[in-house]
Amino acid sequence: MRRSDGCGGYRLWLRYDPIDDPATRRDYARLTRRICLPTGSSGAPMAARAELERGLEGLLGEAPRISEEARGATLLAGTPDSCPPLGNAELRAELEALGPEGYILGRRLVAGRRRWVLASAGEAGLLYGAFRLLRMAQTRVPTSGLEVRDRPSVKLRMLDHWDNLDGTVERGYAGSSIWDWHRLPGYLPERYRDYARANASVGINAAALTNVNADPLALSTEYIEKTAALAGVLRPYGIRVFLTARFSAPLDSGALATADPRAPEVAAWWASKAEEIYRCIPDFGGFLVKANSEGQPGPQDYGRSHAEGANLLAAALAPHGGTLIWRAFVYSARASEDRAKQAYEEFVPLDGSFLPNVLVQVKNGPIDFQPREPFHPLFSAMPRTALALEFQITQEYLGFASHLAYLGTLFEEVLRADTFRGGPGATVAKVIGGSQGGQGLSCVAGVSNVGASLDWCGHHFAQANWYAFGRLAWDPSLAAADIAEEWARMSFTNDDGAVHRIVAMMMGSREAVVGYMTPLGLIHIMGWDHHYGPGPWISEGRPDWTSAYFHRAAGDGIGFERGPLGSAAVDQYAPPLRELFGSADSCPEELLLYFHRVPWDRPMRSGRTLWNELCLAYQRGVGAVAAMRDAWEGLAGFADAVRFEEVRELLAIQEAEALWWKDACLSYFASLSKRPYPEGVRAPAHGLEYYKALKPQYVPGIGRTR
């Protein structure tokens, strides 16, 4: 077993190693030598103080002097109410415009002279500002001319844990759940606080603690008390807890004979349950619900609509200020003409019928967190409904925690996509932020990749996906490349050359995965149920759970026709996109096989045939991983020995599995196309039957509810 030198992955990006540049160290020492920081009325200022003490001692070599005394302070930190010098009318107005989570870090006129301030209208903003200051010191940002005014673009920035009460994690690849429900509420390890610190450092302010395939036990009195203990740990870091609610809970609990949303006794049961929860957890966030999808109970079991079901629970939460998040990931129990269309067909007629405290949570794409798919058409079609955007941080379809796949590029691609809702410029980010409809609620959620693994995420580079999600949830206008650079500097080194090479690896990694798994718009061709490894030949069972349903490959061509001559799924998009996606000639080639079924010999823009382009895409994906391995070998010395060797070994696994994907998929597609491999593409090492016979066992992340 390897011994860690104390620099392993547990500290995430909050490493606070000493600043090696004397000028930068001197500047931050001067700025933070004496900090005025009143403790305030909540735990957030105390959390900010603890973080500043921890961070600055590590970065500067000595702890700062922090007190409530403003006289002589080099940095005034607080709110106008907690720190009187910050209460002048001009500064107070500036802070109120930024809201309770926004903050200022810079020089302001205070009591007749310009002084350094870290100020917010709310105590949560003070905490976020403290983390911002430490981030800048970690990444060696000069203090000269420092001027930061920041606030979040989205109100709820949320991690969704698919953690089960028995400790397993559905689609979790970093070990068991971090929540030890058995030993709660009495056992509260430091790891919970470190989890909260990591989330607060990137602005995440909510966490759904339990699996969307919900267990009714989570709403029992015993487990409410356990949840209350977790809420107490997370609260000082600005994090509100949510629970997933099983729609049939009144029935499952044995209290009632029905869960029909129109039954008065059902409404009364949910109202009573909400009151019980809020007595224990006054700042409880609300419920997240998966209903009438993949076998989960829901209002349609009683002939009721999704709006009736959502409004039932929302009404119970409303008196307490709670939010009901209703997932739009639904598809029929029977295979439909095109699974991609169903959520739109079910939810668009309900636009405007949800209560004000309901968020309809929509996956980034219409299928299921694929390596690449178009943005979900619901984002352009429900102007009277508050929509939440759901990403998957855990890499269910991107190689699990064995593969390096920086998802900042995926998040950026979706957030910047133009929905054309009401005209050009209506990006997904603007839609979910409320600027395209004026809803009072806004939310970006990410399915967590956190587990009990020492490095939290199962792969050191998977930490970057947690980090990037939080940063983009706070500010969707950020560039994925800039976020990657921040993370690399905080996690590994500030050496410019090394950072450049690390960022280059990260920025090309997701495209590499798309290349060796699902190029040119292919989707859903992974192994059965566990989703590990390739399985393009899967054709038995429920049709829309099979690979063949999605790729439609045969001797004459490949792809799912969603244009006017097929399922017409393109009609669910706004007219400019309908025209773009609706023709194979204009459709972006990276989405071609998602929207169109085309012949193997179709000419591509490169001049090559589709078959040759497909083969070369697979080969390029494998080559990109080989290049990442070479790049990492040149970075020895810029990471501690433990992390360097672990990443090195995982990249070797990734290259072997990329080759497996390429050889298995091309063997299968060649058996249908009857075409030779083009020059530059290595023929598979084995025949098709060899790859079909590979049946991985005990694959992680299936979870007990699947």
Which sequence positions are flagged as catalytic? 294, 368, 396
Cis preceding linkage at 536, omega within 30 = no
Nearest-Å Rg of the Cα atoms of the chain is: 26
C-alpha dihedral, 351 to 356 to 357 to 359, nearest 10° = 20
Of 89, 85, 88, nearest in space to 75 by CA? 85
Cβ burial 420-448 (10 Å sphere, 16+ → b, else e): bbeeeebbbbbbbbbebbebebbbbbbbb
Tokens of 244: 């997933």
H/E stretch holding 473: helix 463-474
The burial class, CB within 10 Å (0-12 / 13-18 / 19+), for 114 is: exposed
CA dist 586 and 593 (Å) reads 13
H/E stretch holding 242: strand 240-244
CB atoms within 10 A of CB 693: 8
Q: Give start and end residues of each alpha helix (H) in 253-396.
A: 264-280, 306-317, 342-347
Contacts (Cβ under 8 Å, ≥6 apart) of 438? none
**Residues listed for the chain:** 706
Of 58, 52, 54, nearest in space to 25 by CA? 58
- What 3-state DSSP class applies to 376? coil
CA dist 269 and 249 (Å) reads 9
